[in-house]
A and B are shown apart, each in its own frame.
Chain A
Amino acid sequence: MYNSNRGRIIQIIIGVIFAFIILQLVSLQIFSSKYVLAANNNAIFRRIIYPDRGIIFDRKKRALLENTISYDLVVIPNEAKGVDTATLCAILKIDKEEYSKRMIEVIVKNSRVKLGIFEPFLSTEVYAQITENLYRFPGFSLSERSIRNYPYNTAAHVLGYVAEVDVKFLEKHEADGYEMGDYAGMTGLEKQYESVLMGQRGVKRFLRDNKGKIQGPFEKGQFDTIPIAGRNLYTSMDVEVQQLAEKLLQHKIGSAVAINPTTGSIIAMASSPGYNPNLLTGNQRRKTIGRLLTDTARPIYNRAIKGQYPPGSTFKPLGALIALDEGLITPSFGYNCFGLYTSCGDPRKCEHHNAGHAANLQLALANSCNSYFLQVFRLAIDNPKYHNAKLGYLKWKEYVNSFGLGRKLGIDLPSENRASIPDTAQYNKDFGGAKYWNSCFMLTLGIGQDRMTATPLQLANAMAFIANEGYYYTPHFVDSVEEEDDIDKEVLLKYRTKQAVTKIPKEYYDIIKEGMHGVTVFGTAAFIKVPGHEFCAKTGTAQNPHGKNHSMFVCFAPKDNPKIAVAVVVENAGFGATWAGPIAGLLMEKYLNDTLTKESKTKMDYLANVDLMPANIKEWYIRNNKTEMLTPLNYNNDELSEIWDMEMVSEQAPIQIKMDTLKKIDTFQKNTPPSSPIPPKQNNKESALTPIQKKKKVNSK
């Protein structure tokens, strides 16, 4: 037929074009995986179902914190048409400008067709008013969420708080599957045990159309996961002791820690000033957090694990223990103290003048004789066994570290401070080399001063160590986790093994205990009693660069078979026996007897109302017109002052001491230390070095 081969050509053209189409289909449907992802991104909407967080219980299974439901007012901007804005604004106490501002915020954050939060955490009355009038607000609805609630209003520092995660947090925890808008523990136990408490989030997948409307579950929900509730934590805390500690520390700056020495479990940990943890949940959070952060008394700061205090005389039992174990003294070792310690030239004052108050170790402990323990310290440093002061010091430091001072104990709270037992390197730097110093240079370490600092937790733990006669369990809150798995067991293992098992013989502990018992019978704390129990204690009055002495008290009870070890610090309050002592006594009484006697209750009321706030803090409050900054525990802080930085304790103290030491160097040549391991020759070099030291002094000025 005419031109019939052209039919063939047309067929070929058609075939070629179909081949092109099929090639493109191959590339789209077989070799590109991105389209499936793009389709899923388009159409599958993931909604996270949050499980209830785990609950934290005290030793009597009372919930220290639990979950409650709060409601958010949410809105789909596109559907919010014909809203009775006047009524809504009246209920929320906002004006129309704020209304449109918030609407724009919601649109910017979540687009017009998705639910966005208009007002979070409605109060009960607002919630009631809105439910009543909800029909007037098309597009608005209420969405519930679980928030934390603290039924006892206590232990804020220990429990910590949860907050919405920020970008930084997300970067840090990339592998843990957090998403914007999630809540996570930010401090305290909430942070430490986040992985246990958070549980496992569930995911529901929905099909969503091109306008963002939900069409129904995706694939009948077969890919959905169910949320698994967070697991509970069981602690040995005692709510009543905790509340008592917080009450007693009212109107004071300070901290109290009580540990059960037989397990290392913490019974109570208070830091003052504190705050009501309920104020950091729900809608009060925004205004509370700002107030807490700007408060000069730093109520958010957990002084129990971060405050660094010179231990003062509370260190003395430990110093004696070292000397006993090294064989430098015997229990009958006495020191003839006349109220001054003069062996190092610069005379050191002692509080006592009566002869024989340091006739033996027990008496010296009971009477807290400074001269005695300065001498004991020098004996330890200048121990002939170790040839020179540096090695002697290192041995001494090793002992002190093994008692749990100057290092992180590993408590199950974040950001514990190690405080400070100074290293020889620091003294080498201060004095121009290892050869140029001896026990006289850091003499007051022997009575817990100089560069030595410790946290209240470390002090309490040291008491547990003495109470246990040579070991302690790492202090911790959580004894067990609900449905413990292998990971939890591994985490908790370190709290279940004995630490610092030293070879110091039992009889030395007995002597120390006797001495500390003496403190409570005829010594510095003789007037403090725990009804029905004999107990051991040591008072401390620590000098510090910030003002009045810190009042310190460490103790454990009962004397035999101890069940509680306590450390109390009241900043700038004066004698240890006056303030910290009675507080510790009441805590022990409450824990051991479960109740307080009538007299004790009177004492409690008195102590709770004593205002020992440093004057500078009061001034700050007045100067900054922050009289409304009443802390939740109702401090009478109306007249409170100047930024007082806790960390300055460690930063400033060395400088102060450096000055003292430089003065000491000038007078050094006149005196020779007893049994000095340093050859006298070096004294010349020392004097040759003095001009340089002086120069430094000038420079530093």
Chain B
Amino acid sequence: MAETNNHNFSKGTDLAVILLYLIMVAVGVLCIFMVEYNPNLNWSNTFLTAKTNFSKQIYFSIFCAFIAIFILLLDSKVFTAFANLSYVAGILLMLATFVLGKNINGSKSWIPIAGGFNLQPAELCKIFTALFLAKFISKPETDFKKLKSHLIAGAAIALPAILSIMQHEMGLALVYSAFIFAMYREGLPPVILVVLLSFAILVIATLLLEPTVLAIILTVIAGLFIFSMIKKFKRNKSKILIVVAIWGVCFGTVRFAVPYIFNHVFECYQSTRIYSMVGKEYDCSQNKKSASSSGERHGKKPDDYNVKQSKIAIGSGGFWGRGFLKGTQTRGKYVPEQHTDFIFTSLGEAFGFVGTFIFLGLYLFFLFRLIRIAERQRSSFSRVYAYSVVGIFFFHIAVNISMTIGLFPVVGIPLPLISYGGSSLLTFTVLLFILLRLDADRQMVLR
């Protein structure tokens, strides 16, 4: 029995990814250690009593190693079999948080479980959604070229995302947009990507420019477009209507949708963060939402304080870095939430550009390796799942690092495998090792 298990365990498992995983977790523990380091503490003592975050993280990783081995010992068919069921269970768990939920840092997405640990269903739901999406797309009756399939998949992704927003977890909700990679790979028309990109540009332009100026620009573009294609339009007049409709949608977005989102959907602090990204100030008195549910995040330092200190920490690293345990920003605890969302700053400060470059190189190699794994799958279930994993990892990495260096508004999402936190580490471990388990059976066709 043991022998066959061993045989199954090692056969076909991608060792490179496991190695990268181990390196990442080790770097993470190191970074957390740097954040916590204080020359006056007795380290061996605190390690044994698990009073420090870095020692807790080590215990978490040991636990995750057991989970990883457990997953690798499972049969691949388990995942296809339980994909739909797990999704439903995940959604139910998320709904349960509204009843059992506990408020941690203004977010209501945690369910307390035994031993002082808390569970975040939204985090786990990413795995379930990935499995569900893979199952749905790989079904023989699904033709992913059809709009209907796109809408079903979109709805399945949007449901947990909306629930996350309702739990005040903006970051987690945004992560669900990462499934666009998998859907694109499986046949989502590129036009949708272009439209989404244009929409993003339009939103940014709305923030940057005066509404009237932008309206004039839009009208001019539409006019020029019609004028240059005037001959084509003469033949088919309905196309003019399409252009006019697009113009109308853009105008509506600029004039009504974006202000509505900023004033009614987003919290004041979120709007402020986004405005501060483009160097503007958001007037909170316009915000209707914060007026009704204010008081939660009061007494905090100004919103750009985090990013400012984070940029100082990374920037002061310079080319070679300040050296291991020598970062003054880290030692002085100037960066808030440095052990979780802003863990990248300790690395950037201590090891400088050289460190961050090598680190990003590792991540890039890791992601490309996962794409390679995805492409070598015979079953589309595995491939869709692999691309979902790639998307989720990539989204976390890109957004987390971008926000620490001031390229993206601050949203609370962790850096995969590095940030402190058992829930986060467990999620990524499970995500990754399910993929490795599926990859080990890549010759099998799973349905």
Q: A32–B315 contact, CB under 8 A?
A: yes
A6 at the interface (CB under 8 A from B): yes
Given A30-B319, A215-B332: A25 and B185 interface contact (C-beta under 8 Å)? no
Stretch in contact with the other chain, from B93-101, B128-136, B209-217, B397-405: B397-405
Cα A34 to Cα B332 in complex, Å, equals 18
B171 at the interface (CB under 8 A from A): no
B353: nearest chain-A partner, CB-CB? A29
Q: B314–A29 contact, CB under 8 A?
A: yes
Q: Which of A17, A18, A21, A39 contacts B328 (CB 8 A)?
A: A39
Given A25-B356, A29-B318: A39 and B329 interface contact (C-beta under 8 Å)? yes
Q: B405–A28 contact, CB under 8 A?
A: yes
A629 at the interface (CB under 8 A from B): no
* Majority-rule SS of A interface residues: helix
Q: Which of A1, A11, A207 contacts B368 (CB 8 A)?
A: A11
Which residue, of B328, B394, B407, has the highest number of chain A Cβ atoms within 10 A?
B328
Residues in A with CB closer than 8 Å to B364 are 14-15, 18
Residues in A with CB closer than 8 Å to B329 are 39, 42-43
A216 at the interface (CB under 8 A from B): yes
B363: nearest chain-A partner, CB-CB? A18
Residues in A with CB closer than 8 Å to B357 are 22, 25
Known A-B contacts: A28-B311, A32-B315, A216-B39. Give 20 more (CB < 8 A).
A1-B375, A4-B375, A7-B374, A9-B184, A11-B368, A11-B371, A14-B364, A24-B402, A24-B405, A25-B353, A25-B357, A29-B314, A29-B315, A30-B318, A30-B353, A34-B315, A36-B318, A43-B328, A43-B331, A209-B333
Residues in B with CB closer than 8 Å to A216 are 39-40
B313 at the interface (CB under 8 A from A): yes
Cα A104 to Cα B394 in complex, Å, equals 51
Q: A10–B387 contact, CB under 8 A?
A: yes
A20 at the interface (CB under 8 A from B): yes
B90 at the interface (CB under 8 A from A): no
B328: nearest chain-A partner, CB-CB? A43
Given A11-B368, A35-B311, A39-B313: A21 and B184 interface contact (C-beta under 8 Å)? no
Q: Which residues of A contact B (CB under 8 A)?
A: 1, 3-4, 6-7, 9-11, 14-15, 17-18, 20-22, 24-26, 28-30, 32, 34-36, 38-40, 42-44, 207-210, 215-216, 218-219
B118 at the interface (CB under 8 A from A): no
Given A18-B360, A29-B315: A24 and B186 interface contact (C-beta under 8 Å)? no
Which residue, of A4, A21, A39, has the highest number of chain B Cβ atoms within 10 A?
A39
Cα A248 to Cα B196 in complex, Å, equals 98
B184: nearest chain-A partner, CB-CB? A6
A32: nearest chain-B partner, CB-CB? B315
Cα A485 to Cα B316 in complex, Å, equals 41
Residues in B with CB closer than 8 Å to A1 are 375
Q: B312–A35 contact, CB under 8 A?
A: yes
Residues 305-333 of chain B, each 1 if its beta carbon lies under 8 Å from chain A, else 0: 00001011111111100000010110111
Q: Which of A29, A207, A215 contacts B348 (CB 8 A)?
A: A29
Residues in A with CB closer than 8 Å to B398 are 17-18, 21
Q: A207–B328 contact, CB under 8 A?
A: yes
Ranked 7 nearest A-B pairs via Cβ:
A35-B315, A43-B328, A39-B316, A29-B353, A43-B332, A209-B332, A28-B315
Residues in A with CB closer than 8 Å to B187 are 3
| Contact sample, A vs B, 17 pairs, CB 8 Å cutoff | A3-B186, A9-B184, A10-B185, A11-B371, A24-B405, A25-B405, A28-B315, A28-B405, A35-B314, A39-B312, A42-B332, A43-B329, A44-B328, A207-B331, A209-B331, A215-B331, A216-B40
Cα A284 to Cα B398 in complex, Å, equals 65
B181 at the interface (CB under 8 A from A): yes
Q: Which of A10, A32, A34 contacts B371 (CB 8 A)?
A: A10
Please give the distance in Å from B342's CB to the nearest CB on chain A. 13
Please give the distance in Å from B407's CB to the nearest CB on chain A. 6
Residues in A with CB closer than 8 Å to B311 are 28, 35
Q: B181–A42 contact, CB under 8 A?
A: no
Please give the distance in Å from A404's CB to the nearest CB on chain B. 61
A20: nearest chain-B partner, CB-CB? B407
Cα A282 to Cα B139 in complex, Å, equals 90
Q: B184–A10 contact, CB under 8 A?
A: yes
Please give the distance in Å from B100's CB to the nearest CB on chain A. 35
B28 at the interface (CB under 8 A from A): no
Q: A28–B314 contact, CB under 8 A?
A: yes
Q: B314–A38 contact, CB under 8 A?
A: no
Q: B312–A42 contact, CB under 8 A?
A: yes
B422 at the interface (CB under 8 A from A): no
Q: B407–A21 contact, CB under 8 A?
A: yes
Cα A20 to Cα B364 in complex, Å, equals 13
Residues in B with CB closer than 8 Å to A22 are 357, 360
Cα A600 to Cα B40 in complex, Å, equals 72
Q: A10–B328 contact, CB under 8 A?
A: no
Cα A24 to Cα B352 in complex, Å, equals 13
B60 at the interface (CB under 8 A from A): no
Given A10-B371, A25-B353: A207 and B332 interface contact (C-beta under 8 Å)? yes
Q: B394–A42 contact, CB under 8 A?
A: no
Please give the distance in Å from A508's CB to the nearest CB on chain B. 77
Residues in A with CB closer than 8 Å to B332 are 42-43, 207-210, 215
Please give the distance in Å from B329's CB to the nearest CB on chain A. 5
Please give the distance in Å from B291's CB to the nearest CB on chain A. 31
Please give the distance in Å from B316's CB to the nearest CB on chain A. 4
Please give the distance in Å from B4's CB to the nearest CB on chain A. 32
Please give the distance in Å from B437's CB to the nearest CB on chain A. 21
Cα A210 to Cα B301 in complex, Å, equals 12
B390 at the interface (CB under 8 A from A): yes
B334 at the interface (CB under 8 A from A): yes
Within B380-394, which residues are at the interface with A (CB < 8 Å)? 387, 390, 394
Residues in A with CB closer than 8 Å to B185 are 3, 6-7, 10
Cα A218 to Cα B401 in complex, Å, equals 29
B406 at the interface (CB under 8 A from A): yes
Residues in B with CB closer than 8 Å to A20 are 402, 407
Given A1-B375, A3-B187, A11-B371: A25 and B314 interface contact (C-beta under 8 Å)? yes
Please give the distance in Å from A15's CB to the nearest CB on chain B. 7
Q: B316–A7 contact, CB under 8 A?
A: no
Residues in A with CB closer than 8 Å to B184 are 6, 9-10
Residues in B with CB closer than 8 Å to A28 are 311, 314-315, 405
Q: A14–B312 contact, CB under 8 A?
A: no
B30 at the interface (CB under 8 A from A): no
Q: A7–B315 contact, CB under 8 A?
A: no
Cα A29 to Cα B349 in complex, Å, equals 9
Q: B314–A36 contact, CB under 8 A?
A: no
Residues in A with CB closer than 8 Å to B309 are 42
Cα A216 to Cα B38 in complex, Å, equals 10
B162 at the interface (CB under 8 A from A): no
Cα A4 to Cα B309 in complex, Å, equals 43
Residues in A with CB closer than 8 Å to B328 are 39-40, 42-44, 207, 218
Cα A10 to Cα B38 in complex, Å, equals 43
Residues in B with CB closer than 8 Å to A218 are 328
Q: Which of B316, B319, B326, B356 contacts A38 (CB 8 A)?
A: B316
B156 at the interface (CB under 8 A from A): no
Residues in B with CB closer than 8 Å to A209 are 331-334
Q: B401–A21 contact, CB under 8 A?
A: yes
Which residue, of A21, A42, A44, A208, has the highest number of chain B Cβ atoms within 10 A?
A21
B222 at the interface (CB under 8 A from A): no
Please give the distance in Å from B137's CB to the nearest CB on chain A. 12
B367 at the interface (CB under 8 A from A): yes
Residues 6-24 of chain B, each 1 if its beta carbon lies under 8 Å from chain A, else 0: 0000000000000000000
Given A215-B331, A216-B39: A36 and B360 interface contact (C-beta under 8 Å)? no
Residues in B with CB closer than 8 Å to A7 are 185, 371, 374-375
Within B225-277, which residues are at the interface with A (CB < 8 Å)? none
Please give the distance in Å from B14's CB to the nearest CB on chain A. 16
Residues in A with CB closer than 8 Å to B314 are 25, 28-29, 35
Please give the distance in Å from A302's CB to the nearest CB on chain B. 51
Residues in A with CB closer than 8 Å to B313 are 39
Cα A598 to Cα B387 in complex, Å, equals 114
